[in-house]
Structure formats: C-alpha cells, structure tokens
Chain A
Amino acid sequence: MSEEKQIVLECRDVSVRYGDVVALSGVSISFARGRIHAVVGQNGAGKTTFARAISGLVSPDTGEIRIDGRALPSGNVNQARQAGVELVHQSFALPPSFTVAEAMQFGAADGRIYSRRGLEKRWQTYLDSLNVNVKAGQRIRDLPVETLQSVEIARALVSDARLLILDEPTAVLSPEGAQKLFERIRHLKDVGVTVIVILHKIREVLAIADTVAVLRGGMLVEGPVECSGINAEKLAELIIGPAARPLEEDQKAALTGSLDTAHAHLAQSVDQAAVEPVLKLTAVSTRPDSDGPPLEDIDLVIRPGEILGLAGVEGNGQRTLVRAISALAETSEGKITIEGLDVTRASLQTRRAAGLRVIPFERNVEGLSLTSALWENWSARELLKRPLLSMVRPSELRQRCGTALDAWEVHYSNVTQHAGSLSGGNAQKVILSREMDEQARLIIAAQPTRGLDIGATAFVWDSLNRARARGCAILLISSDLDEIMDICDRVVVMLSGRVVGTFTPPYDLADIGAAMTGVSK
C-alpha cells in the first residue's frame, strides 16, 4: 500500500509511432515520488518522445500512463497539467515577441483582463520568489539563453507542478550554468517536487540524479537504478549499445561524457609557426544586426591540418562569426584572408571558390531544402559556380549525386526523394558529401553533430579527422564540450562577440567553462 503511494508516475507498455518510425516501444517504467530521476540515452533513443508522452503533448499509440495512480487520458496536455505534470522543453516554448510577464500569463489559470503594469508587477513578484534574475517587462527574444531557461522553468512552475520534467536542460548551458541548474533542481526536491531530467552525459547524471534509467532505440534497457554505486562504464555501454561502428575509447568517453574532466588530448603534430594559415582574421568587427551580437576585434588563425574548436554559450557571437566568414554578415573593420587571399569584401561565391565550405547551424533551414530532391540539394554548390543560364543535364547530375551519396554511406532509395524524408544522420551526411569535397580548404562545421545518434556522430568525427589529415583547416563550433575537447587541436572561447580565451591540450573542463561565463582565473 505504501509502495503504491510512493510511485508518482507509472507507464505501462507505452508505444509511440510517427508514421513508419517507432519512437517508443513497450516502455514500462515507474518513478518514485520526491526524488530526482535521470533518463539518459543517445539522440534518437526516444527521450524527448518519452518526455512528451508523459506530459500529454504526444498521444501514445498503446499503453497507459498513470499519475498518482490515476490513469491519464492520453494526448491531453490540460489534464496532465491539472494532475500536476509540467514539461520544460529543450528548445523553449516561449513566443519570441512576448514579454516575460506575458509568457507566464498565457499558461496561467486565470483569464481576466489585465493591465500591462499590473501584469508585470504580479509576475515580477513570482519571478523574484523563484530567484530568476529578469525583468518581467523584457521581451523573450532579447534574453540570453541561460535566462531563457530559467524563464522556461518558471513558466512550468506557474501551476504548482508536482512532477517536473526537464528535457535536456543542460544542452545549451555552460558547466557553471549547469551547476546553477542543479542547485535549482535540488531546491525543488526539497519542497517536494519530483523531478525527471533527461540528460545526455554521465557526468551530469552522477552530479544530480538519485536514480537513472537508460533508453536505447525506443526501449527501456535499464532502470531506474540507484546512482550511488553505479558503474559509469557499464552505463556507457548501455547507452551506446552494440554500435554498428567500432568506437575508440576516447570517442566513447566523449559521446557519453564520462568521468574525466581533464581530457588528455593527443594533438596531431602541427608545426605551428612555419606554415601559412588557411584562415586568418585580423581585428575583425561587424556591424550590429538582428541575428546576434556583433563581433568585436576578433583575431583568429587556423592552419592547414588543424581543427580549431569554438566554445561558448549559444548567442555569444558564434553565429555572427560564421556569418562574417561566409559573407552573410558585413565586416565593418579588419581583414579576413583565406590562404593569403583577402576576401574581406568578397562575395560568398568567391570565398567558396577559394576553398571555403560551410556546414551550417540549422541543418533543415540553412543546409537543406527539405521539400526538394536530394540531387537538387547536392548539386546546388556546383550549379552556383556556373552562369545562371548555362545548360545542365539532370540525368548526369543525378548520377553523380548517387555516386557521391553512396561513397558517404547515405541510406536513401532514390536521389529524387526529397531531403526531408531522410533521418537526421543521413541528412547531415548529404550535407557533408556536398561540402567536404576534394577542393575544400577551409571547413566551418557549426554544431555538426547536434541531434545525431552515436553512429552518425562518430561518422562525422571521422570525416572531420580525414579532412584534417588531408590538410584542411577546420573550425568546429559546438556546445558539447566533450566533443570539442576530444577532437580539437586548439580551443577558443567566445563571449559577447569577443574571443576571451585560448586553450591548448590537455584541456580542463573547469577552465574552459569558467572562460565561457567570463570568470577569469
């Protein structure tokens, strides 16, 4: 009897399908009240689907979900919220044009007419009580990422949540930000809230969670088990599973974020001084625009055969840097050269001809046209080298595309299928096959493994390493510090549009984390 009372959430045989894809399969799990539970798994394991199913956002095809012993009608967010379940989303559910107060209000229970001042006063009190450092009148789109997450959590707590689910909250945070988040979570536990955290990294699990459960391929493979006394290596094995691709030890560590905070990275031997850099930025500043903070006085050098990592909390100028190098943001001062050629005023076309390649941040918006055919997506770069009215032979393009995609191990049926029908990993490979050709000299890889499963992630890392071996210069931007520390020869950290730190191996996670938040050592 008291056993039952201890269980706040129970899933029985829950399955979710999206069309032909099985996201969750027969998941039966229960969580104890008042504790902090971690759910881990690689990308594509079904973690987000699980979070959405138990909070009513997604309707399971089979199975039952019980909150406090009572069955939850599936796919009904309102019922779930009334039962005290709230979900904090990975990419925040906050309309950009809203003020913070409005973002709180639109999920609130009362629908009366309000005045702007009254609204802001009411919610300011609430936000202050939660220790969220923000003004209720600020607009969501003006807030930095870490504040956004606090606001998102505050929104979820508006309605007296008893079970709070956090979907990959640490993905966008610096190590310090993650620590602050964990404090907040512990505080919630103190006041009796049950917390389920979807996490990626074993180190984080061990830092915050009481129990851990592992999802893989949509199925529950372990747990929930107590975290004290757990074997980190065994956990890593469970997460990765029988990988199709054999992984090296440090790749495994990077993928799962296991214990070592200091990575001993063996740099490839790069003879520093003598070689002409592939990319050189000298005192580069950009004009402010709507897409992010402007760059201020950036100096950057990447040599052939070198992978430079760019770390920093999202929104500190990384996007602007990529856009400046790609001629999509205007350089107001300074000089950019590619292999000695001054390209500061040159078009993107010219820069591409000089060897620039870009793997963009947003795969589906900036990298591919989802409703266009694979061969069209793949041929874009080549076609732009020719005059607009030049004749093309689609059959020839299709054939060459097919050959290229096969060489990059893309799983597809036909080059005429549209890009949106591919899985994330395969779509990324299409982009790689387009961007990492023989003439590439400078490759900018922006969040190249975000959202990819372990096999695809390892594939991308291997491709980057091969490009490096060929003598390319690579700029890797990532919010995954394990990834950066594993494959980069050097690391720079950006904050507010400036470069605030340069690091060489062996790396220390704490040092890099400190630079990301502006704490100087």
Chain B
Amino acid sequence: MDDVIIAILRSATPLVYVTLAGVIAQRAGIWHLGLEGLMIAGACATILGTVLTGSIFSALLIAMVICIVASILFWFVVEKLKANQIIAGLGLTGLGLGGTTLAVESIFGSQAAVTAPSGLPRLGAMFGAYGTLSILVLLMPLFVFAVWVLLCRTRFGLRLSAAGEHPFAARSVGVNPGRMRLIALMIGGVLCALGGAELASGSLQFFSQNMTAGRGFMAFAAVIFGAGHPIGATFAALFFAIVGAIGIRAQLVFGERVPHDLLLALPYLATVFGIWLSARLRGGVKAVTGFGELRDS
C-alpha cells in the first residue's frame, strides 16, 4: 500500500505545483496555456544545471530565473502587445519544448536523455519508506496552504481577483491590473520551475524530450475543474494524478490483459471527463465575446 501512496505523491507533486501556478494566473484573468512550456523548462534547467554546476541548489535557482524571465516575456506579449492569451500560451509552450530540446542537443550533441549525478534532497531515513521522496513533496502541502492564504485571506488576493474579474473595480481603488498580472505570472513561474524540478529530479534524475507529456495542460484543466480555487484545483490535480498512478499500477498488476495504450490514455480521458463534469455542474463557457482577450476595464 505504501508504494501506491508513494507513486501517487510522486505523480501528484509536480502537477500540484504547476496547478497552483495556473490558479494564481486564473485569478488574475489569465488562461495560462504556457504552463507546459514553463514546466519543461524548469525540468530541463534543473537537470542541466545540476550537471553543469554540480549543485542542485544552483540548478534550482537557474530554473527559477529562467521561468521568471519566460513569464515576464509572456506577460509582455499578452499585456503590452495585447496578443491572444491562448495562442501566445501555446507559443510559450512550444518555445519551452523546442528550447529544451535545443539546449540538450547543443550541450550534449544528441537528443538522448540526460542523467544528473544528484537530485533533490530526500526526506531521509526517519520517514521510513517515504524517505525516498524529495523535500518538494513534503513542502507541497505547505505551498498549497500558502497559496490559499495569499489568495483567499489577504487583501492582495482580493485585489488580484478584482484585477481578473472586474478590472474597473480594481482600478477604482488604485490597483493596476497589469501589474497584478505581472506579479501573478512571476509567482507562477517560480512554482512551475519547482514542479518541473520535482518531475525531473524528484525520484530518478533525468531529463528526456517532452517528458512533461501534457501535464502542464492537465494542470490547466485542474484549474478549471477546481473552479479556480486553490484547494479545489489541488484536489482536481490529485484526482488526475491518482488516475495516472492507477494506470501505471494496473499495468504492473494486470500486465498483458490491459492494453498498454489504454492506460496511457487514462489521464487525458480523466481530464476530458473533469472538464465536462465541471461544465455540467457549474455551467460552462457561456457565449463569449473576445475570447482569449484580456479585459482592462
């Protein structure tokens, strides 16, 4: 039983970090389809950073800086150049996926997976069987709590929500919605870096092309499924992670009798189900005008 829980935690933690990033962006009025690109950038930077500098902490720092810079670029394109968030987000993801492939090729000369000599610090022997989990797993609930407090129990969180939901109200109390979005995206960048780091470095320590496999989009779906609320979205992410872990588990248990590809498909099917269910329960996308455009007043 323990190893099932460990598998679920390993699978869920990266997803939850990125989901939190998505929640913060959503509050500010941004549909962030660039999460996938940021996540893989974080993963790649962590592994390459560890290989090149020898220190996981320097690597984490590099990953966070890269993700923050990418987030600022995204903000600039969407806020100042008024690009469509959805397409720009997909572009950001594409840059992340392509850029990481390029980085690996240019440094190592091939597209094969890169292994790092060390990874994230583990919890250690005193946690028993769970000692093999990284500290980011332990920190995950703390981050969820911190994001919840920030968004739902501070004036900053209220102002962020106003910036996204009713920018005019925000401006009428002196809040600059554009600056709020910048802050939201930068915080999100850090979280995505952590999520990517956990994915690449949390158990095994390697980076391979496209290893995120759509997790960034699942995180986005979790945000919608969870109605943009940090706790709800976290549970949605956990749900997706559990489905994914079940898939892998069933593979091991049932082996030949369950088609491998069906199990691969489970997380994506779960995501579709989640989106459909949340639309049924809460009334989904109404007729929209200017979909994908940021509202400024």
Contacts and interface: CB of A to CB of B under 8 A. Distances in A.
**Are chains A and B touching directly in their complex (CB below 8 angstroms)?**
yes
Contacts of B165: 95-97
A95 B28 CA distance: 13
B206 to A, nearest CB: 40
A4 B290 CA distance: 50
A106 B283 contact: no
B161 interface: yes
B168 interface: yes
B166 interface: yes
A57 interface: yes
Contacts of B154: 111-114
A290 B169 contact: no
A111 B162 contact: no
A105 B166 CA distance: 15
B155 interface: yes
Contact of A93 (B153, B156, B169): B169
B155 A110 contact: yes
A105 B172 contact: no
A98 interface: yes
B155 A111 contact: yes
Interface string A75-109: 01110010000010100011111100010011110
Q: How large is the interface on B (under 10, 10 to 19, 20 to 34, 35 or more residues)?
A: 20 to 34
Question: DSSP class of B's interface residues: helix, strand, loop or mixed?
Answer: helix
Contacts, number: 61
Given A57-B172, A102-B158, A114-B154, 10 more contacts: A76-B174, A77-B172, A81-B173, A93-B169, A94-B169, A106-B158, A106-B173, A111-B154, A112-B154, A290-B283
A217 to B, nearest CB: 24
Nearest to B165: A95
B162 A95 contact: yes
Nearest to A114: B153
Nearest to A91: B168
B158 A98 contact: yes
Given A77-B174, A78-B174, A87-B172, A93 B155 contact: no
Interface string B112-136: 0000000000000000000000000
Contacts of B162: 95, 98, 106
B5 interface: no
B173 A77 contact: yes
A365 interface: yes
A106 B155 contact: yes
Interface in B96-151: 149
Question: DSSP class of A's interface residues: helix, strand, loop or mixed?
Answer: loop
Max chain A CB contacts within 10 Å: which of B161, B168, B174, B283?
Answer: B174
A419 to B, nearest CB: 12
A269 interface: no
B171 interface: yes
Max chain A CB contacts within 10 Å: which of B154, B159, B169, B174?
Answer: B169
Max chain B CB contacts within 10 Å: which of A87, A98, A108?
Answer: A98
B289 interface: yes
B166 A81 contact: no
22 contacts: A56-B174, A93-B169, A95-B161, A95-B162, A95-B165, A95-B169, A96-B165, A96-B166, A98-B161, A106-B158, A106-B162, A106-B173, A108-B155, A110-B155, A111-B154, A111-B155, A112-B154, A112-B155, A114-B153, A290-B283, A365-B289, A371-B290
A93 B166 contact: yes
A426 B116 CA distance: 67
Given A94-B166, A114-B153, A105 B289 contact: no
Task: Give me the 6 closest cross-chain CB pairs, A-B, nearest first.
Answer: A106-B158, A78-B174, A93-B169, A107-B173, A95-B166, A77-B174
Interface string B14-39: 00000000000000000000000000
Max chain B CB contacts within 10 Å: which of A57, A96, A106?
Answer: A106
Nearest to B283: A290
A108 B168 CA distance: 16
A219 B159 CA distance: 36
